[in-house]
Structure 1
Amino acid sequence: MEADRSALDSKQDKAQEQQEAATPQHDTALKYSSQPELTKIRLMRAFVETRDPSSKEVDDLMIRRFLRARDLDVEKASAMFLKYLKWKRSFVPNGYISPSEIAEDIAHGKMFVQGVDKKGRPITVAFAAKHFQNKNGVDGFKRYVVFALEKLCSRMPPGEEKFLAIADIKGWGYANSDIRGYLASLTILQDYYPERLGKLFVVHAPYLFMKVWKIIYPFIDENTKKKIVFVENKNLKATLLEEIDETQLPDIYGGQMPLVPIQDS
C-alpha cells in the first residue's frame, strides 16, 4: 500500500514538473484554472498515463477540457479521455482526415469559417440545407465532422480553446433530415471534443426543422444545451453583434467578413 502511494506521488511530481516546464501559451491558459482544477489535472494525468502511455503526448489543457466536461470528476473524466484516445487511434489512424476522403461532403459546400468573435473564438457557419446523406453513409459524414472540428481547433489563437458556430437552417427540408448523421456528429462533439463549443446560434429555423429538433434534443448534454441560442429573424443581426464585431460578422448577416469554405481556411 505504501509502495502504491509512493508510486502515485512520484507520478504526480512528474506531472507537476511537466506543467511547470510548459510553454508560456500553456501557462497563460492554465492561469484561469482554480486550485482544485490544477490538483485534479495532476491526479487525472497520473492515472491516465498508467492506463495509456500516449496520454503523455497531450497537454494539460486537453486534460482540463475532459475534466470540465465531467464536472471535475476524475474517474468519469479519465474514462471519457481514455475512450477518446482509443477512438482517435481507430478512427483517425493517420492523425488527420484527408480532403480526398470526404470529397462528396466538401462538394456540398455546407461549412464555412472566417473571422473571430469578441472573445477571439473562430467563427464557423454551417448550412443545414446543403447537407445530404451520401454514398459513404454515416461514417463518411463523421469523417467530415472530424475534419471540420480539427480545422476549427487549428484556427484558435493562443490561449483560446473554443469556437462559435452559426447553424443556418434556411431552406431545410426532409431531404436534409439525416437524423443518424446529426446524432453521430453530436456524439463526436460531446464525447471527443468536449468544451470546444463556445456558443451555437441557430438561425432561420423553419417549423419543419423543430420536429426533428425534438428528437435530437434529449441526446444533448446539459452543458451543451446552455450554449445553444435560437435567434428570431427580426433580431438576427442585433443578436449576432452581441458576440461578434461587425468587421468580423459574416457578410451574409450584414457584416463585413466574407465566408471561406472550411477546407480552404
Structure 2
Amino acid sequence: MPPTPNQEQQVVLAHFRAHLEERDLIHDGDTIGTDDWTLTRFLHARQFDVEAAAKMWADCQHWRKTVCGVGIDELYEQMNPTDFPERREVFQYWPMWFHKTDKEGRPLSIQRYGKVDIPALYNTITPDRFWTYILTSAERIPREVVPVASKRAGKQVDGIFLIIDLKGYSLGQFWQMKGIARDAFQVSQDYYPEMPAKFLIVNAPTTFTMIWSVLKRWLAPQTLEKMDVCGSDYKKVLLEHVSEENLPEDLGGTCQCEDFGGCIWWKE
C-alpha cells in the first residue's frame, strides 16, 4: 500500500469515486469498504488507471456476492476465523495467526509453512470448510484487523506485515499445499489488493530456488517489490521492522505471551 496519495493522485481518487457512483458500484455501508484508503488500494493495484481499477472493483463486488454460492458476508457470518470448533487442530497443521505489530503499527501476520501437514489437516477439517477459513481470515483483515490497528496507532495503517517461516519446510510440503497457497494468493491479489504492506520470507531452505521459481509466477509485480527472502540469518532484517518485545521468541524476539499460553494465542 502506498503512502497517502499525493495531490495528483487525490484528483484521480475523486474521479474514481465518482466513476464508481455513476456505474452504481459503490454504496454507503458496502462491506468492501467505501473509505479513501480502500479505494486507493484498488487504484494502486492498477497503477492509478481508473478504468482498470473500476473493472477490478466490479469483479470484486461480484465475487463478494457469489463466492461459494452464498457470498463473503454470509461466509463471515457462518465462521469466525478466530473462534471455531476445530481452531486449535487447524493451527497445529497449518499455523497462521496475527501477533502484535511492527514499528509502523502494522499487524504482524505469521504463517509457519514448515508445520503444514495437509493429510492431517483434512482429518480435522474438510477441504471446503478449511477454504472458508482461508476466505474469512482474508475478509477479517480489512474489516477488523487493520481498523483496530489503525485506531491504536492513531493513524491509517497501510496494511499488514506478513512473515512466512519456512523452517523445516520440504518439497513434499510444498507440493501438498501448492494449490491452496496459489488460490489464496490469487484471492488476496484480486479481491484484497495491497493488503500486505511488507512481505518477509524467513528460514528459506536450500530447495527454495525451485520453490521460488513456481511461487513468483503467482505474485503480482507490486507484491514482489514488497518481498524480502532470507535464510536463517533473517534476525537483523526482521528487527529493523519489528521491536524485539513484539516479536515471538522463536523468531528472534523476546515475546512469549505467557499470559495467553503462547504467542499463537495472543489476542489482537
User: Given the two structures, how large is their TM-score scaled by the length of structure 1?
Assistant: 0.78
**1:143 equivalenced with 2:132 (yes/no):** yes
1:43 aligned residue: 15
2:178 aligned residue: 179
Secondary structure at the counterpart of residue 138 of structure 2: helix
Contact 1:124/1:164 (<8 A) preserved: yes
1:199 aligned residue: 198
Q: Unaligned regions of 5+ residues in structure 1, if any?
A: 1-29
For residues 263 and 70 of structure 1, the distance between their equivalents in structure 2, rounded to whole angstroms, comes to 35
**1:231 equivalenced with 2:230 (yes/no):** yes
4+ residue stretches of structure 1 with deviation over 6 A?
none
1:261 aligned residue: 264
Give deviations 1:196-241, integer Å, cap 9, x for gaps.
101111111223343232112122111100111111313x211111
Query: Structure 1 184/254 Cα, relative in aligned 2: closer, same or farther at 3 Å?
Result: same
Find 1:127's aligned residue among 112, 118, 127. Answer: 112
Contact 2:109/2:162 (<8 A) preserved: yes
Query: Structure 1 202/249 Cα, relative in aligned 2: closer, same or farther at 3 Å?
Result: same
Moved more, 65-74 or 39-48: 39-48
Find 2:44's aligned residue among 32, 54, 68. Answer: 68
Query: Structure 1 250/85 Cα, relative in aligned 2: closer, same or farther at 3 Å?
Result: same
For residues 165 and 260 of structure 1, the distance between their equivalents in structure 2, rounded to whole angstroms, comes to 16
1:241 aligned residue: 239
Kindly state the Cα deviation for residue 136 of structure 1 after the two structures are TM-superposed.
3.7
Kindly state the Cα deviation for residue 142 of structure 1 after the two structures are TM-superposed.
3.8
AA of the residue aligned to 1:51: R
For residues 212 and 139 of structure 2, the distance between their equivalents in structure 1, rounded to whole angstroms, comes to 25
Contact 2:75/2:132 (<8 A) preserved: no
For residues 92 and 164 of structure 2, the distance between their equivalents in structure 1, rounded to whole angstroms, comes to 18
AA of the residue aligned to 1:233: S
Equivalent pairs counted in the alignment come to 234
For residues 195 and 229 of structure 1, the distance between their equivalents in structure 2, rounded to whole angstroms, comes to 16
For residues 105 and 55 of structure 1, the distance between their equivalents in structure 2, rounded to whole angstroms, comes to 36
AA of the residue aligned to 2:249: D
Query: Structure 1 183/141 Cα, relative in aligned 2: closer, same or farther at 3 Å?
Result: farther
Contact 2:97/2:111 (<8 A) preserved: yes
Query: Structure 1 172/122 Cα, relative in aligned 2: closer, same or farther at 3 Å?
Result: same
Contact 2:201/2:228 (<8 A) preserved: yes
AA of the residue aligned to 2:38: M
Query: Structure 1 52/261 Cα, relative in aligned 2: closer, same or farther at 3 Å?
Result: farther
Q: Unaligned regions of 5+ residues in structure 2, if any?
A: 151-155, 257-261
2:153 aligned residue: none
Give deviations 1:60-99, integer Å, cap 9, x for gaps.
2111110011110000001001111111122214262434
Find 2:145's aligned residue among 155, 158, 164. Answer: 155
**How many percent of aligned residue pairs carry the same amino acid?**
26
Contact 1:65/1:195 (<8 A) preserved: yes
Moved more, 218-227 or 84-93: 84-93
For residues 14 and 86 of structure 2, the distance between their equivalents in structure 1, rounded to whole angstroms, comes to 38
Kindly state the Cα deviation for residue 121 of structure 1 after the two structures are TM-superposed.
0.6
**Pairwise CA RMSD of aligned residues?**
2.6
Contact 1:122/1:152 (<8 A) preserved: no
For residues 31 and 176 of structure 1, the distance between their equivalents in structure 2, rounded to whole angstroms, comes to 34
Secondary structure at the counterpart of residue 123 of structure 1: strand
Kindly state the Cα deviation for residue 140 of structure 1 after the two structures are TM-superposed.
4.3
Contact 1:248/1:255 (<8 A) preserved: yes
Contact 1:113/1:260 (<8 A) preserved: no
